[in-house]
Structure formats: structure tokens, C-alpha cells
Amino acid sequence: MITNELKSQVDKIWETFWTGGISNPLTVIEQFTYLIFIKSLDNAQSTITKKQTLQPDLKDIFPKDKQHLRWEALRANPAQEMFEIFKDEVFDFIKNLSQNQSSFAHYMKDAAFLIPSAKLLQKVVDMISTLNLDDKDMKGDLYEYLLSKLSSAGTNGQFRTPRHIIKMMVEMMLKDVKIDKNFKIYDPACGTAGFLINSIEYIKEKKPEVFDELSTKEFENLFYGNDFDTSMARIASMNMMLHNIQSAHITNNDALSKFDKDEEEKYDLILANPPFKGSLDFDEVAKSILDVAKTKKTELLFVSLILKALKIGGKCAVIIPDGVLFGSTKAHKELRQEIVSNQQLDAIISMPSGVFKPYAGVSTAIIIFTKTNGHKNDKVWFYDMQNDGYTLNDNRTQCEGSNIPAILKRFANIANEEDNKRVEKSFFVPIEEIESNDYDLSINRYKELVYKEIVYDKPEKILEDIENIDKKIRVGLKLLKDML
């Protein structure tokens, strides 16, 4: 989680952009991101230089004739000279870093340097120089905090997924997976690529053998993302490159309308938090997606897309609003019936309504299933998350009692959950019971509440106690009057 110190630093930089003449929040984020990226390139070059003693074949990011474009060299220039170098050379340099047709190169083609004055650039560069960008988690938290400042955040259902929720989902889905060169991970609404970045970090930390088995290109070919917003796609590509994915597969399409045969049964794992609150006309949605459930609601359409995009045997963990679990429309029921009776529904994790604050208080759940096209599960595992490790108010400060470690432990040992009663946080529900309940997947439908019996005194005893209290009050009042 981002520290208060870093928040304060970012707030000051944001305010400097604002008072310097950049009032569009997305423009602030893009310009801020470019500068962070340039500083990170310098840090990466320093690491490469240290390693070249033992690995002389390592390629420099900055060739000899471009050393003046490194962060510290830029900072050493007078303000106006630094401004001219940024405007005339730095952006061309980062645009041409990747000469191939990677998404990074594609999205940087229309990147623009929009800082209006040398004075503003110098102020911002000096302030960014104080940021700690060596810690990858901190860098990710910084991105999330930047995005939280978007005034449009939360509109159209675009809620930024908390990093601890992303990490939990990534670990749940990748822990027991065998990854080879043909494996593909996808996020159809990737935003800044949080799920993909955390998948990369998890593999690096927990599955290092993958790097022995795959070439650099094969490893890069594991990760795919899409976002309909060009700016988000650009930031996602830049984020991937900062995590050493030089040729990120990030596309910029309306995934629902552009879905075609090439995308069908392509991915082994889909991790997503798609838009919740959207509505599209039928003629704007690919026919194959409408074949699953004919609806205009984007939260249902994205689940339909995921069903189509997964390979047979492929798995998915997707965040959905609670309404998907119990909605009564024909499309809601058809989609749940497809997942329950024709695929392998593995788990429903109910999350508290404050998880997406301060964006919104919407109640959400994580739905986990495997695509089988004809084989359904015997039972579904439910978990009632009541504490995600942060307070459920707008401040979202860290607190004790997180259920996430228990979720990870129980999901990894799910066979041990067989005997759990429905009064516990987690339990199984037979698939037949779900089918008989109109495919309702809300945990409250199946969880049993335990009512604690409270024994009260008889009315006569209560009246006697009141009379005794009244006597004591009268005695006390008499003593006060005597004192006066």
C-alpha cells in the first residue's frame, strides 16, 4: 500500500502540474507517467552497467551518443535547455526504443510532450527525482494512486482493482498451473495492466523454473491485454515495458464489438475486472458473444466474452457486481445457467461492499470457473469475505483481521472444506441445489445464520428493578436538596 509520504509527494507533483497549466487529469497522468518511465530507464541502465562486468553481451538502453538523455544528465541542464531536449529529442528516443511492432512502439507513436513551459518541467523533474522508483510494488502503488485521482474514476463502471485483491486472484489461479510456451494469460479490460503485471511478478517469484524453460520471446508471449481507452492501452504498454516485457501484447479495441474467430478458444487463463455499468446496443456487440446471452449490459457481455475466449480446460477469475449472481432477467439466468450447468463453476467469493471505495460502494464477488463445454461440477465452493485487510470507508486504511490469507489457504486445500457447515465463512453447495434455486449464486441464499438466544428476566422482575432504581434516584434528589 502506498505510504503517506509518497502520497504527499505525488499530491504536490499533481498540484504543480495543475497550477502550471495542465488541467486535464488524464493528461497529467500521461505526462507524469512519461517522466516516471524516463527516470526508470535511467535506473534500468545503471543496473545493466553493473551487470555488464559479468555479462558483457547485455545491451545498453542508452547508446554512447544518447548519454545526455539519461535522467541525471537531463537534470543537470538549465531549465530552458532541458525543456528543448525533452521536446526535440527525449520523446523521439523513447518512441524508437522498440523498433518492432510491439504495442509499446505502436502506442508511443502518438504520444505527445504537453508540458507547456521550462519552469514547470524543471519543477516536476526535480520533484520526481525524489521519488523511490526502485521498489516495483511501490511503483505499482504509485500508478494506482495516480489513477485514483482521475475525476472520471468510477464512471462507466471503470473501478481500479485494489492491488491486494489482484494479488490474491493471481495466486489462486497460478499456484498449481503448469506454464509452457503455449500458455496464454489475458485481460480483456486491462486498464494499466495490473493483472498482467502481478502475473509476471508471481511467476518470477514463485515459478522461476519458467525462465529456464522459456526464451525471452516465449515468456513475453504469455501475456495479453486489451483496453478500449487508447491512453490506458499506452500506459499499460509502458507499464509492461517497465517490467521487462519489451514486446507487450496490448491491444486497443472495443473487445465486445471487435471479438472475432481469432479470439475464440485462445486463452488458458483470464483474469479481469471488466466495466460494471455499461449498456450497448445489440448491433454494437459481436454476434458470437450475444449467442451466449442476449443482453445490453456490459457486465454480462464481458462474462460471455470470457466464455468464448477461453480454451477448453481454460480457467477464469473475474470480478462481477453482485447483481450478476442473482439478477432475475432472462439474460442473467441464461448466463448463470451456462456457467453452472454447462461449464465447471469452481468458486464464488463474496467481497464486502467497501472494496472499491472511494470509487463506489458497489457489492462485488469473484467468480471462478473452468471452461468444459458440457461437464459441470458436483458442487461449488463459497467464501464470505468480510475483511480484506483495509477499512471499508473512503479512507481505506490498513487494518487487522484480513480474510485473504485464509482464502488462499483454504482454496489451496479445498478438499478439506467438505465437512464445513454453512454457518462458517466457507462451505460447499451441491450443484443440484443451485440449479433448483433458479441458478442463484448469492452466498446469502445458502449461508445459514446462527441466532444467539438472549434470555430476559420476567416482566415482574424488570418492574421490580425499575422501582428500586427509582427509589435510589429519589433518595439522591433529597440529599441534593438538603445540601442546597
Per-residue model confidence (pLDDT) at position 105: 62
* The two domains 4-138 and 153-445 share their CATH topology (first three levels equal): no
Comparing CA positions, the residue from 135, 137, 199, 204 lying closest to residue 168 is 199
Residue at 333: amino acid letter:
K
Q: Which pairing describes strands 344-351 and 364-370: parallel, antiparallel, or unpaired?
A: antiparallel
Residue 391 near residue 399 (C-beta atoms within 8 A): yes
Cα angle at 384 between 378 and 389, to 5 degrees? Answer: 135
Per-residue pLDDT tens digits of the chain, which is 484 residues long: 567 888 888 889 999 998 998 888 878 888 888 888 888 888 888 888 888 888 787 788 888 899 999 999 999 999 999 999 999 998 888 777 755 545 666 666 677 889 999 999 999 999 999 887 766 656 666 766 776 676 444 444 455 788 899 999 999 999 999 999 999 999 999 988 989 999 999 999 999 999 889 998 899 999 999 998 887 888 888 778 767 787 789 988 888 888 888 889 999 999 999 987 666 777 788 888 888 888 888 889 999 999 999 999 999 999 999 999 999 999 999 999 999 999 999 999 999 988 887 766 788 999 999 999 999 999 999 999 999 989 888 878 889 999 999 999 999 999 899 889 999 999 999 999 999 999 999 999 999 877 777 888 889 989 999 999 999 999 999 899 988 8
Cα gap 409→436, rounded to integer Å: 30
CA angle 298, 299, 305 (to 5 degrees): 80
**What pLDDT was estimated at residue 382?**
97
Length of the chain: 484
Among candidates 137, 30, 99, 143, which has minimal Cα distance to 247? 99
Fold for 153-445, please state it.
Answer: Rossmann fold (3.40.50)
The reported pLDDT for the residue numbered 74 is 94
CATH fold, domain 4-138, is Ferritin (1.20.1260)
CA distance linking residue 170 with residue 198, whole number of Å = 7
pLDDT for residue 112 = 82
pTM, two decimals, is 0.80
Residue 157: per-residue pLDDT = 44
What residues are paired with 345 via a beta bridge? 369
Rounded distance between C-alpha atoms, residue 341 and residue 254, angstroms: 29
Task: Give Cα separations from 76 to 70, 83, 245 (angstroms).
Answer: 10, 12, 30
> Domain-by-domain residue ranges, the chain?
4-138, 153-445, 453-484
